[in-house]
């Protein structure tokens, strides 16, 4: 879902995403009242957290979402909304990390959660290549020191 | 100050559904207390924070999986507490 990374530092990453005007998701969620599903907002925070961790480890390990705590969906998100997604490192453990995710729109807090991600060596070279390419596409071109 | 064992047992009781009185020095965290890998991550996070260390759980797991070290060395409570005490002792003194 992330369109572009706008800033990255050793412990924070900020990204943006514009919700499309049209999407099959809105056909069911909900007819005549399109809203971005909350699980996709959580996924967006997980993606930002994952890119932060991969930037820290120079794309040597793949983060996998393992737990979501205290997820709060505070406001509806409608088609065309520009979202700002922030991931902040809370703790860098051995084989896992904890991040704080936050999504806002026009300065208003939309949702937040604490995320746990396991980090493992990439299980497949094509996955590593795909993620490196995707990171470059969204503007995450270099590693940041952990 | 409470012993490392007591502090870790308190963390496990607070982080999981295991009653505190069930946790003894001879309890195996996984086999006796039923802690799964995700709960163990929560426990390790709490231990990392409480003791100001980084428990090398990934290296421990690799050692156990490769047969280099018996699981009891890290996952029986009294041994886990001893490993945590070693990590705390090895921690660089803060400035």
Predicted local distance difference test score (pLDDT) of residue B94:
61
Nearest CB partner across the interface for B54, out of A94, A98, A116: A94
Q: Burial of B37 by CB count in 10 Å (0-12 exposed, 13-18 middle, 19+ buried)?
A: exposed
A-B contacts at Cβ under 8 angstroms: 36
The answer, for B62 touching chain A at a CB cutoff of 8 Å, is no
Taking contacts as CB-CB distances below 8 angstroms, the residues of chain A near B54 are 92-94
| A33 has a pLDDT exceeding 70 | yes
What is the mean predicted confidence (pLDDT) over B45-62? 95
Q: Which DSSP category does B22 fall into?
A: G
In this structure, what are the phi and psi dihedrals at residue A50, rounded to the nearest 5 degrees? -65, -45
| B41/A66 CB distance under 8 A | yes
Distance separating alpha carbons of residues A85 and B93, to the nearest angstrom: 37
- Where does A38-95 show beta strands of DSSP type E? 61-73, 82-92
| B56/A118 CB distance under 8 A | no
| A113 has a pLDDT exceeding 50 | yes
pLDDT tens for residues A53-102? Answer: 999 999 999 999 999 999 999 999 999 999 999 999 999 999 999 999 99
The answer, for B65 touching chain A at a CB cutoff of 8 Å, is no
Predicted local distance difference test score (pLDDT) of residue A127:
94
The answer, for B49 touching chain A at a CB cutoff of 8 Å, is yes
What is the mean predicted confidence (pLDDT) over A33-44? 97
| B57/A95 CB distance under 8 A | yes
Predicted local distance difference test score (pLDDT) of residue B95:
46
Distance separating alpha carbons of residues A67 and A103, to the nearest angstrom: 18
pLDDT tens for residues B21-47? Answer: 999 999 999 999 999 989 999 999 999
| A140 has a pLDDT exceeding 90 | yes
Q: Are B8 and B81 in contact (CB under 8 A)?
A: yes
Considering the entire predicted model, what is its pTM?
Answer: 0.92
ipTM above 0.90 for this complex: no
> What is the enclosing helix (H) or strand (E) of B79?
helix B77-90
In the annotation, is A29 catalytic?
A: yes
Predicted local distance difference test score (pLDDT) of residue A143:
76
Distance from CA of A31 to the nearest CA of B (A): 37
Distance from CA of A21 to the nearest CA of B (A): 38
Q: Burial of A24 by CB count in 10 Å (0-12 exposed, 13-18 middle, 19+ buried)?
A: exposed
- Closest to A140 in 3D by CA, of A31, A28, A54, A32: A54
């Amino acid at each position: 879902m992330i369109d572009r990374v706008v800033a990255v530092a050793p412990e924070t990453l900020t990204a943006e995403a514009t919700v499309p005007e049209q999407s099959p998701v809105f056909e069911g969620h909900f007819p005549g009242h399109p809203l971005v599903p909350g699980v996709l907002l959580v996924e967006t925070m997980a993606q930002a957290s994952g890119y932060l961790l991969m930037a820290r480890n120079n794309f040597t390990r793949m983060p996998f979402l393992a737990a979501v705590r205290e997820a709060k969906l505070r406001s509806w998100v409608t088609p065309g909304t520009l979202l700002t997604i922030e991931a902040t490192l809370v703790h860098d453990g051995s084989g896992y990390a904890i991040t704080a995710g936050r999504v806002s729109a026009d300065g208003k807090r939309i949702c937040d959660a604490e995320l746990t991600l396991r980090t493992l060596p990439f299980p497949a070279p094509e996955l590593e290549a795909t993620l490196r390419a995707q990171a470059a596409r969204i503007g995450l071109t270099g590693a940041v020191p952990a | 100050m409470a012993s490392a064992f007591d502090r870790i047992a308190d963390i496990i009781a607070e982080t999981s559904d295991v009653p505190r009185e069930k946790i003894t020095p001879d309890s195996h965290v996984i086999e006796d207390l039923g802690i799964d890998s995700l709960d163990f991550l929560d426990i390790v996070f709490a231990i990392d924070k409480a003791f100001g260390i980084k428990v090398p759980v990934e290296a421990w797991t690799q050692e156990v999986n490769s047969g280099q070290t018996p699981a009891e060395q890290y996952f029986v409570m009294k041994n886990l507490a001893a490993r945590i005490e070693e990590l705390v002792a090895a921690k660089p003194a803060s400035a």
